[in-house]
Amino acid sequence: GHIVRNWKVRWFVLLQDKLLYYKIEGGKKEPFPKGRILLDGCTITCPCLEYENRPLLIKLKTKTNTDYFLECCSREERDSWALDITGAIHAGHPVQVQELHRMKNSFKLLENISLQHIVERMCDSNTGIKLTHNLEQGNRYKETFTGSALVDWLISNSFAVSRFEAVTLSSMLMEENFIKPVGARSTEATRYSDLSEQFLDDSTALYMFAESNNKNLSSKEGLQFNISELSGTIVKQGFLVKQGHKRKNWKVRRFVLRADPAFLHYYDPTKEENRPVGGFSLRGCLVSALEDNGVPAGVKGNVQGNLFKIITKNDIHYFIQASSKAERAQWIEAIKPLT
């Protein structure tokens, strides 16, 4: 929804130049459309990973910069809709349509892009693939990702233009020991002789970074972390209390706000090494103060007040406490111009 940001079931009809959507009452669609999306000048993003808990999204941005988020019922349905909508958008440009079909039916690793580079991008703390804990047949696996999540990530980061390409690329990553299967589902598939069948585009097949590769990446990622993200001018720094993402406990951290590029990093003051324990880009972030009357949703533990929240463009929520309302206002005022 555009006013109330909730999700509603709508019946969609794709025409040559527009996408109509209808309300459903009593199991039937109403005779007149509730709204329409004009496709002329539209851009489409599929898969759209802006909502971490909604992996089946299509995003449409109209030429007037209005965003529409459409959630499908399955990956097959999502990809089918995306392909048909893309065809309608480019219907008046036959050359682009031919190029789309050519790209869909061929595979070539992008020039000047190595598998090592792709894995380094996958490991990026802000824009890389999300590592989660997964359960399979009673076994718990830490820091893993699913086959379908990797396929979505490769497409959304323009390393592949179709699921076929992404599966082929994922198979190459596995063959070169950058990633490895974990759990019975993905391990069983490696017994197939055909390489294209060894990697599964499946939400139940689990994979993780290979251990030997993890060690190499950690140092390279750190080098890139220091050179690029920590090169900006320090605008503000000080001690704040931050809620953890996993345990939801509160810890004192030294925050450093930088501009050009705009990043907010935080350090563990109990460690001697002057190295951030976390940080994120401020581009596209939202920052706001939270009222002191009661505990907001998503906040746990000992809350003293003077809270503010930062939501990144990847929809990651950071809850932070300042020592006073004045300090909270100063941090918010310093962060906002950099978003």
pLDDT in tens, 89-110: 887 665 655 555 554 444 444 4
Q: Which residue did the predictor score with more confidence, 297 or 144?
A: 144
Q: d(Cα 83, Cα 104) in Å, to the nearest integer?
A: 10
Domain 10-105 and domain 115-209, same fold? Reply is no
Beta-carbon count within 10 A of 326 CB: 9
pLDDT of residue 253: 86
Domain 10-105 top-level CATH class: mainly beta
pLDDT of residue 113: 57
How far is CA 91 from each of CA 20, 41, 66, 81, 202, rounded to the nearest angstrom?
A: 17, 11, 21, 15, 32
The domain ranges of the chain are: 10-105, 115-209, 227-336
Beta-carbon count within 10 A of 112 CB: 6
Beta-carbon count within 10 A of 2 CB: 8
Share of the chain above pLDDT 70, in %: 79
Share of the chain above pLDDT 90, in %: 19
Q: Is 90 exceeded by the pLDDT of residue 241?
A: no
Q: Is 80 exceeded by the pLDDT of residue 138?
A: no
Using alpha carbons, select from 281, 222, 278, 226 the residue that is nearest to residue 254: 278
CATH classification code of 227-336: 2.30.29.30
Q: Is 50 exceeded by the pLDDT of residue 216?
A: no
How far is CA 72 from each of CA 4, 56, 128, 163, 309, rounded to the nearest angstrom?
A: 20, 6, 24, 16, 30
Q: Is 70 exceeded by the pLDDT of residue 293?
A: no
Which letter does DSSP use for residue 7 in this model?
-
- Average model confidence (pLDDT) for the chain? 79
**pLDDT band for position 212 (cuts 50, 70, 90):** very low
Q: Which fold has domain 115-209?
A: Arc Repressor Mutant, subunit A (1.10.10)
**pLDDT band for position 9 (cuts 50, 70, 90):** confident
Using alpha carbons, select from 118, 120, 132, 122 the residue that is nearest to residue 172: 118
**pLDDT band for position 302 (cuts 50, 70, 90):** low
pLDDT of residue 213: 42
